[in-house]
Structure formats: C-alpha cells, structure tokens
Structure 1
C-alpha cells in the first residue's frame, strides 16, 4: 500500500531563475488549462486543497513546487512535484505568451532534476493539436534517465467505447479519474518505480 506521509507547498516561481535549487528528484506535471491538474495533484498527495485550481483557466502563470514523501511499508520515497502552468488558454498578449513559452521550454530542457514528465490530456478530447505538439516536444527533449507518462484525465466521463479507443491508440497511457480515484495508485507506482527502482509493495488485500 502506497501512503503519503508528507505533502507540503514549497514555493511559487514566476520564472525559471526563481525556481528553488534542484535538490531532489522532480516530477513535472504539464497539460492544457482546465485538464484537471490541481485535482490530480491533490489525489496523488491525498490532500484536499494542496494544489488550488484557478477559477479562470490559464490564469496561473507560476511554477508551483510541492514536496511529497511517499511511504511503502517502512520505506520512504521523497519527491518534489513541479506544477507547470496550463497551456493554450491564457488571454495574454502574443509577445508575453511567447516569452513565457520560451522560459517554460528552457526550464523543461535544462532542469536536470526532472526525472518524470506527467503529460495530462483530457480524455474527452484525446486528439487535440496542442497535446500532439506537447507529446512531440517531450519526445524530443527526453533524456535517457527521464520517463514520460501520459495520463488521460476525467476518465469517469467516458463511455466504454471511448475508453477502448484510447487504450488502443495509447497502450502505455493511464486512464485516470480524480473523482473516483481510478488509476491514481497505478500512477504513483509508475513514478516511484522509475525514480527509485523496483519498490517492495505488500499486497493490501
């Protein structure tokens, strides 16, 4: 059984220069605005309001950092979650948007402590151009020690046929629902196993 023994907000950084020092393995979460990132972070950390969702999609322009300590049996696994601003929604001027994208791209390429990218896609809109571009970008910058995990959020809203199609097109992806906790533990396992190697987990049944 995977438990969360600690989950705390560290800081918000408006630019890469103000990000905290890379002192531990990091998991970066990215996806379009309104994809359910805050809900997923809260589900992964077992905290109701750790990550706050903005009332206006795309409004958040900060990189948020959270320290999370997982516990499996008696073993401790510390990680830092990096919550990146949602893309593709913000009603800002083009030059501001371009400057921000450049800063974000630079952060993802140069931040050596990022070990896992969690790419969130709304399961109800699985084939949007922005998500396809993000997929290609991550494939292009991914280093040998990094893993990209694709997560289709809001899976509870899908019909069986739609679920089957996503599984067929993206066999390695996870279907997740923060509402009913579907896929949450599986995602925790994937993250921990990539960063820390095989985790010893006794069956909770």
Structure 2
C-alpha cells in the first residue's frame, strides 16, 4: 500500500477510508453512486450532506468509535463546503485530540477546523496528489519518473471502518490535544523534517 506524503489524502490507505465513507453515505442515502471525491453533481451531493446525511454519518462513526472515520468525514465534507453545525464541529475537534495520525495531517486538520467557516465555501487542505508530488520532486533535466513512495508508520495510518456490531478500542497512548506555541511549532517542524527525510523516490533519466 503506497503513500506519497504525510498529509491528508496522501496515501492509498487514506483513499480507501474515503471510499469506505462514500460507500456508507451511499447506503444511508440510498444512492449507490454517491461519492465525496469529485462528485458528478457537487450541489446535489452537498445538499444531501447539509440535509442531515453528514450528521447521520458522524453519529454512526461515533457509535463505532471510529476516530479516523470521524476525522476523514469532516475533512471530505470541508473540501466540498458542507455546512457543519457547531456541535458537530466540537465533535471533530475533540476527536482530533484522540486520533493517531501523522503530524502533518493532524496539523492540516487542526488548521482547517480553526479556519473553516461552514458558510458553503470549500476548504483547501493543500495536499498534493501523487502526480503533482512526483512532478514537484523530479530533478532538473530528468525526462520522467518511475515510482515514489514514503516510509510508513502503520500505527499512524487510518484504520478501516469497524464491522457492524464492533467498536474500535481507544489507543491508551492518545488523548493529548494538538499543542500550540513556539515549542510545539519547533517540535512539529522537526517531525516534518524527519518525515520528509524518509522519502524514497526512483526516477528515470
């Protein structure tokens, strides 16, 4: 399973979770073609989510204690400009303090939750896709690229949705909120450098 970065939606595991959330939304909305990723009719999709589908999904994922589901549901919805109620925003913020994610992804979500206005305007997490990432890393003078992948910490990868009747167990090591202040910024910067240092890319010249 590949990854091209440590931000939101920068790994196959992230995209699998997004697909799972879309599938669950489709079942609840009785719409097998429902998708969060580049929906054919953006306005119709947002209308369904604003009309109660978002809250239904959030409650279901809360019941399962599927923390990654809660966070990625929020991120997917923010990318579409869904209007999220204050109470649901509080759930997203609280869940972010308990979920295990890469620092870069967690900081992206934290910034998004603090800046999102829930006024219909979509939020850009600024997470480049795999093609954009490869193009940005291509050395000067190279004619193409073959493969890019980054080392992955499986303890920070998103977990799959628990099956019906199952509940995800809390990670006893989690529970610390996203920090603020100069010290945490320095630590986050160091972690980001450490993550970037793990990048492994192979290019064709």
TM (norm. structure 2) is 0.33
Specify which structure has the bigger relative contact order, considering alpha-carbon pairs within 8 angstroms and separated by 6 or more residues: 2
Q: When you count helix as a share of all residues, which structure comes out higher?
A: 2
TM (norm. structure 1) is 0.33
Q: When you count strand as a share of all residues, which structure comes out higher?
A: 1
